[in-house]
Amino acid sequence: MTGLVILAAGASTRLGQPKQNLVYQNKTLLQQAIETALASVCRPVIVILGANTEVTRPTIETQPVHIFHNKDWKEGIASSIRLGVAELKKFEPAITSIILMLCDQPFITTSLLNELVHAKEKNGIIACAYNDTIGVPVLFDAKYFDELSLLTGADGAKKLLVKYHDKVFTVSFPQGSIDIDTVEDFERIK
């Protein structure tokens, strides 16, 4: 069983407003990410909020996901990963893998998430390949949960992708390089 954690705790400082609530194709970016995750084979789906919880949570409260507030969001993405892994293990102690996903990559599809899960048979880490790099969404086998739980600061899981580069299997996701960090990024996709 593969659980999925949507990391949506950042302050969106470069954008100047909560990116989680940007409306694209009649839904917020976070609502789209949740719908994509729920349509996949992944269960449970957990959402980690932080900086903008008070304005973001009301937009997703009716969704059948587990929502958590990361009080340590200022530390960086690692704090959200740690919280997501801990909560996922509580909900589903027999979980065998986790997908880490961001809400600001609007072109993630359900089929991409399912492909990550199905590719797990080949290796313990399955990352998306785009723009001469590898990254999220990314699947980690349960054997990496302890190391994910030790991450600190703004590094995120990329640190493990580098450390275990010879064990990483990739799935092509050319549109993965499109994420929303600035107003200009958002205008380009509209």
Q: What is the predicted pLDDT for the residue at 122?
A: 66
Q: What is the predicted pLDDT for the residue at 70?
A: 98
Query: Which residues, in sequence order, are bridge partners of residue 4?
Result: 45, 99
How many structural domains does the chain have? 1
**Predicted confidence (pLDDT) at residue 187 exceeds the cutoff of 70:** yes
**Predicted confidence (pLDDT) at residue 93 exceeds the cutoff of 70:** yes
Q: Tell me the three state secondary structure of residue 117.
A: helix
Cis, bond preceding 44 (omega within 30 deg of 0) = yes
Residues 125-131 have a mean pLDDT of: 97
Crossing angle (nearest 10°) for helices 110-119 and 29-38:
50
Distance CA 88, CA 134 (A): 24
- Could you report the per-residue pLDDT of 31-49, keeping only the tens digit for each? 999 999 999 999 999 999 9
The average confidence (pLDDT) of the chain is: 95
Q: Domain residues for 78? A: 2-189
CATH number at residue 179: 3.90.550.10
Distance CA 33, CA 99 (A): 13
